[in-house]
Structure 1
Amino acid sequence: MTLQEITAKMKENAAQKSSFGSTVKFATDQGVIFVDGNANPPVVSNDDKDADCTIKMDFSDFADLIGGKLDGMTAFMTGKLKIEGDMGVAMKLQSILR
């Protein structure tokens, strides 16, 4: 999957969800995906903005996470996923990712 394909998939999933009151940025070596959870439904873009929570991963690991091949908790515990900011926000994201 490319960054654009993942962004499109996340936009599709987010369009069916309610706001969650925070912003999140997924920062990869191939670009960023920004989720504005203050909007209803949440808005997904590739804008590189400040966020309440930033999740940093290599793109290949991020693609595996989105594709369901990598569990978020496993990625975090093994150091493949790093969280900066409000970790509670990261916990709310499962439904938007898949």
Structure 2
Amino acid sequence: MSNATIDAAVAAISEKLGGQGFDGSAKFVIEGEGAVMVDSAGARPAEDGDEAEVTMTATSETFQDIMSGDQNPTAAFMSGKLTLDGDMGTAMKLGGVLS
């Protein structure tokens, strides 16, 4: 697991959240790197056993593209670059924050 990648992901999501928490819980798994948990407390590195309403999985490249605005989260899902396990509504709510 790359701590630098996860730390950068936490920082990017925290910036998108504007210092606020998220109304729901989501785990963003970055393949080969680790995971980020997003909930009412904000964004943080995910720990083993962290459960979320939705788990989203993508490559590091896709995640970076979503964070930079080069990739729409919905389009990433529709093209298979982003997979979801759990509540689609929570994923869409987070997607709106990240876009």
* Normalised TM-score (structure 2): 0.80
The 2-side partners of 1:12 and 1:66 are apart by 10
- CA-atom RMSD in angstroms: 2.0
Over 3 Å counting, the alpha-carbon distance change for 1:12 and 1:73 in structure 2 is closer
SS at match of 1:2: helix
Q: Given residue 34 of structure 1, which amino acid in structure 2 is its aligned partner?
A: M
> Structure 1 residues 19 and 33 mapped into 2: Cα distance closer, same or farther (>3 Å)?
closer
Aligned partner of 2:67 in structure 1 is 66
Question: What residue ranges of structure 1 are gaps of 5+ in the alignment?
Answer: none
Letter of the 2:87 counterpart: D
Q: 2:29 corresponds to which letter in structure 1?
A: A
Deviations 1:11-69 (A, max 9, x none): 2332444641x210001111101001xx2xx4210123111100011111111111111
Q: What is the aligned residue count?
A: 93
Change (3 A) 1:32 1:18: closer
- Higher helix proportion (structure 1 or 2): 2
Change (3 A) 1:18 1:34: closer
Structure 2 unaligned regions, length at least 5: none
Retained in 2: the 8 A contact 1:17–1:96?
A: no
CA contact (8 A) 1:57 1:82 kept: yes
1:1-98 equivalent positions in 2, closer than 5 A? 2-17=5-20, 19-20=22-23, 22-29=24-31, 30-36=33-39, 39=40, 42-48=41-47, 49-97=50-98
Identity over aligned pairs, percent: 30
